[in-house]
């Protein structure tokens, strides 16, 4: 049985500098899909020259941030002393835990010389017990992302978070969660079965795609019901298409989000701000 669509929507503009951004999650229908509580799509853009777009140093607590760079170069600094660049196809992952300040800057890819940028940023909500842990950080280059070809020359799948068949991401799981980048060749299809009670959404970055017999437009965010069933992806275009599938088990603890913090109560949000202003998250030192 194929899963039914719960809703579909398009994002709201949330531009930063030279980057055109659409905020897909949270949206007017839901605040979370499994542990995922935030998704910004930095849409594909060609720049006339090197650029420098970032948010500047800012704090986080209670979540893990994940930046997936389709095209471009992403540089990360944080108050734990971590510094790295990832390039097209790479991932910046940071567990904010009990508090950290970071600064991310997206630029064109200096390795390839191309002037394009295209990326996603997710926030993954942590269970309460992990919100009080020390921060952690991973810089994952494209060649380190698990990937395999799909049957019948249909395309490929990358496992950004979680597991798929024999593939396993090196990003830690604090609950059942997954994030897949699926590439479907022209005229091909792919299906996957989702267990009962798993929350799952799809996002179509750049092209229309057929999901369970319904066509959705580029830029649409689609959430499915919680019943066990199949998601069947068809590409009837004359060119390849891409889709993100993500979700996981329902987050059962209270969710209280404000600014860069996602906690379990209002008092914890107040604590997060108090500790930040008291300097307990440290400082970024760039060399």
- The answer to whether residues 48 and 273 touch, using CB atoms and an 8 Å cutoff, is no
Q: Is residue 122 part of a domain?
A: yes
Lowest-pLDDT range, 45-49, 107-111, 160-164? 45-49
State the pLDDT at residue 191: 96
Question: pLDDT by residue (tens digit) across 172-199?
Answer: 999 999 999 999 999 999 999 999 999 9
Higher per-residue confidence, 55 vs 125: 125
pTM: 0.95
pLDDT of residue 11 exceeding 80: yes
Strands 241-248 and 177-184 come out as: antiparallel
pLDDT in tens, 202-212: 999 999 999 99
In a domain, residue 215? The reply is: yes
pLDDT at 18: 83
Q: State the average pLDDT over residues 133-155.
A: 97
Contacts for 81-84: CB closer than 8 Å, 24+ residues apart:
81/285, 82/137, 82/139, 83/286, 83/287, 84/139
Other beta carbons within 10 Å of 32: 21
Known binding-site positions for Fe cation? 58, 60, 102, 104
Q: Is residue 17 part of a domain?
A: yes
Residues 262-275, mean pLDDT to the nearest whole number: 98
- pLDDT score recorded for residue 114: 82
Q: What is the reported pLDDT for 50?
A: 62
Residue-wise DSSP of 253-283: S--EEETTEEESSHHHHHHHHHHHHTTTT--
Please report whether residue 287 resides in a domain.
Answer: no
Indicate which CATH number applies to the domain containing 216.
2.60.120.10
More confident residue, 115 or 279: 279
**Domain membership of residue 35 as a residue range:** 5-278
Inside any domain, residue 285: no
- Of 47 and 209, the structure prediction assigns the larger pLDDT to 209
Half-sphere exposure of 142 (CA within 13 A, CB side): 11
pLDDT (0 to 100) of residue 47: 82
Which range (38-52, 150-164, 177-191, 273-287) has the least confidence? 38-52
pLDDT higher than threshold 70 for residue 52: no
pLDDT at residue 245 in the model: 98
For residue 284, being part of any structural domain is answered with no
230 occurs within a structural domain: yes
Residues belonging to the binding site are: 58, 60, 102, 104
The predicted structure's pLDDT at residue 93 = 98
Indicate whether 225 belongs to any domain: yes
What is the count of structural domains for the chain?
1
Distance CA 269, CA 278 (A): 14
- Is the pLDDT confidence value at 54 over 80? no
CB 251 within 8 A of CB 222: no
Q: What pLDDT is attached to residue 29?
A: 95
Tokens of 65: 């941030």
Contact 21, 14 (CB under 8 A): yes
């Amino acid at each position: 049985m194929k899963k039914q669509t719960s809703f579909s929507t398009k994002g709201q503009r949330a531009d930063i500098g030279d980057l055109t951004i659409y905020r897909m999650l949270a949206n007017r229908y839901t605040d979370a899909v499994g542990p995922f509580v935030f998704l910004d799509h930095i849409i594909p853009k060609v720049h006339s020259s090197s650029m420098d777009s970032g948010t500047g140093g800012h704090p986080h607590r209670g979540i893990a941030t994940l930046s997936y760079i389709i095209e471009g170069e992403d540089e990360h600094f944080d108050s734990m002393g971590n510094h790295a660049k990832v390039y097209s196809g790479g991932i910046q992952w940071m567990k904010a835990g009990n508090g950290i300040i970071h600064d991310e800057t997206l630029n064109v890819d200096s390795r390839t010389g191309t002037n394009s940028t295209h990326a996603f940023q997710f926030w993954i909500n942590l269970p309460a017990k992990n919100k009080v842990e020390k921060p952690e950080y991973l810089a994952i280059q494209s060649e380190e992302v698990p990937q395999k070809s799909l049957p019948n020359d249909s395309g490929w799948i990358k496992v950004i978070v979680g597991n798929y068949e024999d593939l396993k991401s090196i990003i830690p799981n604090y609950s059942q969660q997954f994030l897949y980048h699926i590439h479907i060749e022209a005229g091909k299809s792919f299906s996957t079965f989702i267990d009962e009670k798993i929350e799952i959404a799809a996002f179509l970055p750049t092209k229309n795609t057929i999901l369970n017999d319904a066509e959705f437009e580029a830029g649409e965010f689609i959430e499915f019901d919680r019943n066990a069933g199949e998601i069947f992806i068809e590409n009837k275009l004359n060119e390849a298409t891409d889709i993100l599938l993500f979700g996981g088990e329902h987050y059962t603890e209270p969710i209280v989000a404000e600014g860069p913090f996602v906690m379990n109560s209002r008092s914890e949000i107040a604590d997060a701000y108090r500790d930040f202003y008291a300097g307990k998250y440290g400082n970024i030192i760039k060399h």
